Amino acid sequence: EYDDTPISLHQEDLLDRINHAPDFRLTLQDAFEARSRGAMIGLFLAVLELARQRKVLVRQEDDGVIQLELNRDVDDGVMHFEDAEADGDARPSDGGSPAAD
């Protein structure tokens, strides 16, 4: 079955469920419980996006249960770049050679 729920809505749902869970943790299995196959796919994509944004930490020990944990150390949303010039390797965003002075 097709699920047209926006991934952002699945993200909000997951964050809300994790925020209300004990220890701010939720298993992936619990997140998928009683969901249709289409909703599970949307939720999985939401987990990937939240992990990419570092809002959620995904943990698994050995062959254990996959845990979703709220990242309380999430950054301020501003991209911070290291000073590449200090390494002598400043390159333009197009991947070209460093500009000569």
Asked whether residue 43 carries a pLDDT value surpassing 50, the answer given is yes
Asked whether residue 58 carries a pLDDT value surpassing 60, the answer given is yes
Asked whether residue 69 carries a pLDDT value surpassing 90, the answer given is yes
Task: Tell me how far apart the alpha carbons of residues 10 and 8 are, in angstroms, rounded to a whole number.
Answer: 5
Put simply, whether the predicted model's pTM sits higher than 0.75 gets the answer: no
Convert the chain into a string of H (helix), E (strand) and C (coil). Answer: CCCCCCHHHHHHHHHHHHHCCHHHEEEHHHHHCCCCHHHHHHHHHHHHHHHHCCCEEEECCCCCCCEEEECCCCCCCCCCCCCHHHHCCCCCCCCCCCCCC
Segment among 7-16, 65-74, 84-93 with least mean pLDDT: 84-93
Q: Which residues contact 5 (CB under 8 A, 6 or more apart)?
A: 39, 42
Domains contained in the chain, CATH given: 7-70 (1.10.10.580)
Asked whether residue 85 carries a pLDDT value surpassing 80, the answer given is no
Q: What is the largest CA-CA distance in the chain?
A: 62
Task: Tell me how far apart the alpha carbons of residues 6 and 42 are, in angstroms, rounded to a whole number.
Answer: 8
Name the amino acid, one letter, at 61: E
> Using 50, 70 and 90 to split pLDDT, how confident is the model at 95?
low
State the average pLDDT for the chain: 83
